[in-house]
């Protein structure tokens, strides 16, 4: 649908690019008093995608919340993307999302029909995921925001964490990179409409099918690649697991148009925050251009899953993923800790 004004111009940041940097966030949460409970098997101290609380021997509760400013101007599409992004955290933990609450901020410059369309987009995407939106909270503020607080469930023994990768694992990525760079270029009207439509469809795509497939294999670790970029999320996985992640750059899927934009310097601010956080853990072997590095640090909105699976399952997982997410690719492997957390193999 067309709008009289642009949603993205009502916000200073866009999508997951608005996310506070990983290093900054960790520092902000230091030394807080909090209760402990052995049933809380994943909490905020783990830098994971969601919290996990064991209810009984068969059921664990997964909780997460995610919201951000508009990354597109179409309100309905914005609602879809924001909902898909929030629900993705449950998929990244290997869970089944069930319930959600709307989280929304509206401004005086937003037409009522925009607000309705944002919510409609969120409801439609939640319906596609099998999620019930049971309520929510809306406030007025200076910038529009939308997202969901999501509750899901999993078996306690089948929860996938971001800090449990093992040497010998093979790494897969289920969506191509470059979203942050291309949406930045779109603001400058430098993105071809066909490319823009492609990245919008990708952002609105659920990670539901990829999650369903990976549950059939010996997955040791998983996270979704969002605001911290592939490098930031890989760094968290490497540090938490005490391993080294080898990324084979020529195998990593990305939108080729993003390379041209990156070479022109159209880089979102979040990419620089991600570089500040992760670069000290990175070693480069061979040639990796600055533009390609920028793509690896680029913040993704509603990105794909980064999966660490036992090496013996490599071929079968790739074949089954290819049936539901054809862009999924094997992008690297995990070893014992070396002299860097991430090694880029150019």
Task: Please identify every residue annotated as catalytic.
Answer: 16
CA angle 304, 259, 298 (to 5 degrees): 45
* DSSP-assigned letters across all residues of 23-91: HHHHHHTTT------TTEEE-GGGT-SSEEEEEETTEEEEEEEEEE--SSS-HHHHHHHHHHHHHHHHH
Residue pair 257/192 in contact (Cβ under 8 Å)? The answer is yes
Residue pair 107/143 in contact (Cβ under 8 Å)? The answer is yes
Q: How many CB atoms lie within 10 A of CB 99?
A: 17
Residue pair 204/72 in contact (Cβ under 8 Å)? The answer is no
CA distance 130 to 37: 30
Residue pair 246/337 in contact (Cβ under 8 Å)? The answer is no
Residues ≥6 apart with Cβ < 8 Å to 277: 21, 22, 23, 228, 232, 235
Question: What is the rounded (10 degree) CA torsion for 137, 140, 144, 148?
Answer: -10
């Amino acid at each position: 649908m067309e709008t009289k004004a642009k949603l993205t111009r009502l916000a200073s940041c866009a999508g997951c690019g608005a996310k506070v940097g990983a290093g900054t966030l960790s520092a902000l949460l230091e030394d807080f008093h909090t209760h402990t409970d052995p049933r809380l098997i994943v909490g905020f101290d783990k830098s994971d995608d969601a919290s996990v609380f064991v209810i009984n021997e068969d059921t664990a509760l997964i909780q997460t919340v995610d919201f951000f400013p508009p990354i597109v101007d179409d309100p309905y599409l914005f609602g879809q993307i924001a909902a898909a992004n929030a629900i993705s955290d449950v998929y990244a933990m290997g869970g089944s999302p069930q319930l959600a609450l709307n989280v929304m901020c509206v401004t005086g410059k937003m037409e009522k029909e925009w607000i309705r369309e944002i919510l409609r987009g969120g409801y439609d995407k939640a319906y596609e995921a099998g999620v019930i939106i049971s309520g929510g909270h809306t406030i007025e503020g200076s910038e529009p925001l939308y997202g969901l607080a999501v509750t899901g469930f999993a078996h306690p023994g089948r929860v996938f964490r971001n800090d449990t990768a093992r040497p010998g694992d093979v790494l897969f990525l289920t969506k191509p990179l470059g979203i942050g760079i291309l949406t930045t270029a779109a603001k400058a009207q430098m993105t071809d409409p066909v490319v823009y439509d492609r990245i919008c469809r990708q952002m609105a795509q659920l990670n539901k099918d990829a999650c369903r497939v990976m549950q059939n294999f010996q997955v040791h670790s998983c996270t979704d690649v969002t605001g911290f970029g592939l490098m930031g999320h890989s760094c968290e996985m490497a540090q938490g697991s005490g391993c080294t992640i080898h990324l084979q750059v020529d195998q990593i899927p990305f939108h080729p148009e993003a390379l041209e934009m990156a070479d022109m310097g159209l880089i979102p601010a979040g990419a620089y925050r991600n570089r500040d956080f992760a670069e000290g853990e990175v070693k480069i072997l061979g040639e990796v251009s600055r533009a390609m590095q920028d793509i690896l640090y680029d913040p993704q909105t509603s990105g794909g899953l980064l999966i660490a699976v036992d090496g013996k399952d490599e071929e079968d997982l790739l074949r089954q993923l290819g049936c539901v997410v054809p862009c999924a690719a094997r992008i690297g492997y995990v070893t014992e800790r070396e002299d860097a957390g991430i090694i880029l193999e150019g």
